[in-house]
Amino acid sequence: MCGNRVEELESRVKELEASVEGLTDELVECKVRLRELETAVDEDLGFVPEEPNSSVSPDEAQADTTNTEEDDGEDSTETGQSDIIVA
């Protein structure tokens, strides 16, 4: 009977892992879409940055969308000298 319980738990863990992976993918897609919408609204209102992504390198932007587990809600750069605050 103990072996059956282990199999049930392993099965449940696999289900939960699949759910977490699916939700993580959806979160990444939502973040990308939100950034696209924010950019479109900013452009419509005439707020065009002088240098696109001047405070975030392409590698950092990619890491931000793919590494959601370490996202603590604060945007930062490696140098820590950014004057731009993202809310």
* 3-class secondary structure per residue, the chain: CHHHHHHHHHHHHHHHHHHHHHHHHHHHHHHHHHHHHHHHHHHHHCCCCCCCCCCCCHHHHHHHHHCHHHCCCCCCCCCCCCCCCCC
Percent of the chain with pLDDT over 90: 45
Residue 59 confidence (pLDDT)? 55
Per-residue pLDDT, averaged over 28-37, amounts to 96
pTM metric for this prediction = 0.48
Residue-level pLDDT at 10? 96
